[in-house]
Amino acid sequence: MSEERNGGQNQKQGHAKTLFITGTGTDIGKTYVTGLILKKLRQSGVSAAYYKAAMSGNDRREDKSLIPGDALTVKEVSGICQPLEEMCPYIYENAVSPHLASRMEGNPVVMEQVKRGFETVCERYEYVTMEGSGGILCPICMDEEEIWLEDVIRACNIGCVIVADAGLGTINSVGLTAFYMKEKKIPIRGVIFNHYEPGNVLHEDNRKMCEYLTGVKVVACVKDGDQELDIAQELLKEWYRC
pLDDT at 2 > cutoff 80:
no
pLDDT at 7 > cutoff 70:
no
| pLDDT 10s digits, 197-240 | 999 999 999 999 999 999 999 999 999 999 999 999 999 999 99
- Which secondary-structure segment (H or E) carries 10? none
pLDDT score for 14: 54
pLDDT at 13 > cutoff 70:
no
pLDDT score for 144: 85
- Residues 6 or more apart whose Cβ sits within 8 Å of residue 140: 53, 54, 98, 99, 109, 133, 147, 148, 149, 151, 152
Nearest to 191 by CA among 52, 200, 173: 173
Q: Which class in CATH covers the domain with range 12-237? A: alpha beta
| pLDDT 10s digits, 90-104 | 999 999 999 999 999
Length of the chain: 242
What share of the chain in percent tops pLDDT 90?
91
Rounded distance between C-alpha atoms, residue 84 and residue 134, angstroms: 20
Query: What residues are labeled active site?
Result: 52
Domain locations in the chain?
Answer: 12-237
**Four-CA torsion 69, 83, 226, 198, nearest 10 degrees:** 80
Q: What is the DSSP letter of 85?
A: G
Averaged pLDDT of the chain: 93
pLDDT score for 117: 97
Rounded distance between C-alpha atoms, residue 112 and residue 114, angstroms: 5
